[in-house]
Homo-oligomer: A and B are copies of this chain.
Amino acid sequence: MATRSTGRTDVTRSAILARLGAQGPASRADLARALDVSPALITQLVKELIADGLVDEREHSPSQGGRPARRLGLVSSAGHAVGLKIAPDHLAFVEVELDGTVIRSAQEPFDASSATLLEGLGHAVEGFIDGGSGVPILGIGVAIPGTVDAQGSGIVDSYQLDWNDMPIGPTLRRMLGLPVLVENNVNALAMAERLFGIGRNHATFLTLTIGTGVGLGLVMDGVVLRGGSGGAGEIGHVPLVADGVLCSCGNHGCLETVIGQASLERRARDAAVIPQRAGIAALTRAADDGDGRAQEIFSDAGRVLARVLAGVVQVFDPESVIVLGEGTAAWKHWASGFEPEFRATLLPSRRGVPVEVETWTDESWAQGAAALVLSTPFDAVGLAGEQGRLVRSRLSVVPKPGVQSHGR
């Protein structure tokens, strides 16, 4: 859609902030090149940003053969973002600085099927924010396992949560008076990866998330692809085995029925590799301890995944694949099956595609959610639309540290 143009809001001011936050300190000249604007504009905007207390001048970087650059850094405490991950039985919160570093985090039980879940959710977020540092909150990012309406207003369909047209975005917006960005959890994670993770160095990559299921995030030319109806990346339901096991989606033989967590656990239990009541953690432990049968379960899954993912890499042509999720704890066991099969199945010209594993923590999902907020100043027009503009304006208006003004 003939991408936008000038004027209206100060997109570039925010782009500078986002760039400094995401990529670390940089000189004015660096910024001009990176954002593809004239040095003149950077000079002028940086002057304002310094006056506003959002940016400060740091040390000189060594000369590159000419006048040495004066590096600029983000005053990362100038604004914070909150990330929220919604799971069927609990909520996970984080508060992060502009550069993505986690300030604090929390977990809380939650009942996604409760009749009063919307109020409960709102109060939980209020509670988390109130316990905060006093630094103004720019917005709330919410990661959900499911799909969001295309307009990005935050109305959620989720099979896992058993939600249908659930107005998460509108409700939180009304209760909190803050910008709220709702997105599929896998896409949110891809966004975080692009801003703060390995993806920082690639414009076009795939994120593969291994958890209870498998998911795919598609990032092309620096943009997270959402598909026609916000449902891109559903690799878990790629058809694999004709007339295979019945999948939760109603079809038979989806990838998830073969290499999903439940499938691995069942296989392990049937083979008595782990006790009947044990789960994936026990299986991972067994493999770590050298149990050959446990290792084989993972490497078999790796081989299957390899062929499917090779197909996607063939079609999508990414520079890199990044592996994420709770399941990465067992990745080294997956890899023994995955790696040889993956390489052997790729076109010769793609065979060098790196597969990198990102370190995973309990807070990673919520961190991904927070990245939704921090990413908004980045898109010129922006998926984020109205909410993105609100985040931008809050960022620009942020007062000198000290005074707070959340809500409103």
Chain A residues near B (Cβ < 8 Å): 1-7, 11-12, 15, 19, 34-37, 202-205, 216, 218, 220-222, 225-235, 237-239, 242, 249-251, 307-308, 310-312, 314-320, 344-350, 378-381
Other-chain contact of A315, B12, B34, B238, B307 (Cβ < 8 Å) = B238
Q: From residue A367, how far is it (CB to closest CB) to chain B in Å? A: 22
CB within 8 Å for A381 and B36 given contacts A2-B19, A345-B251: yes
A6 touches B3 (CB 8 A): no
Among A2, A221, A238, A345, the one with the most B-chain Cβ atoms within 10 Å of its Cβ is: A2
Q: From residue A354, how far is it (CB to closest CB) to chain B in Å? A: 11
B234 touches A317 (CB 8 A): yes
Q: From residue A386, how far is it (CB to closest CB) to chain B in Å? A: 14
Chain B residue nearest in CB terms to A353: B228
The CA-CA distance from A256 to B204 in the complex, in Å, is 26
Other-chain contact of A4, B3, B202, B218, B379 (Cβ < 8 Å) = B3
Among A229, A344, A346, the one with the most B-chain Cβ atoms within 10 Å of its Cβ is: A229
CB within 8 Å for A3 and B380 given contacts A315-B232, A317-B231, A345-B251: yes
Other-chain contact of A203, B220, B228, B234 (Cβ < 8 Å) = B228
A36 touches B2 (CB 8 A): yes
Other-chain contact of A238, B7, B229, B311, B320 (Cβ < 8 Å) = B311
Residues of B within 8 A of A216 (CB): 315
Can you list 8 residue pairs at the A/B interface with Cβ under 8 Å?
A1-B203, A2-B15, A2-B35, A5-B36, A204-B228, A228-B318, A239-B310, A311-B311
Residues of B within 8 A of A229 (CB): 317, 319, 349
CB within 8 Å for A317 and B232 given contacts A220-B220, A250-B348, A307-B239: yes
Residues of B within 8 A of A220 (CB): 220, 225, 227
The CA-CA distance from A204 to B228 in the complex, in Å, is 6
Residues of B within 8 A of A320 (CB): 228
A36 touches B1 (CB 8 A): yes
The CA-CA distance from A234 to B44 in the complex, in Å, is 46
B237 touches A347 (CB 8 A): yes
Chain B residue nearest in CB terms to A147: B349
B34 touches A234 (CB 8 A): no
B312 touches A315 (CB 8 A): yes
Q: From residue A38, how far is it (CB to closest CB) to chain B in Å? A: 8
Q: From residue A398, how far is it (CB to closest CB) to chain B in Å? A: 21
A2 touches B347 (CB 8 A): no
Residues of B within 8 A of A315 (CB): 216, 218, 232-235, 238, 312
Chain B residue nearest in CB terms to A230: B317
Q: From residue A36, how far is it (CB to closest CB) to chain B in Å? A: 5
B378 touches A316 (CB 8 A): no
Q: From residue A108, how far is it (CB to closest CB) to chain B in Å? A: 31
The CA-CA distance from A311 to B308 in the complex, in Å, is 9
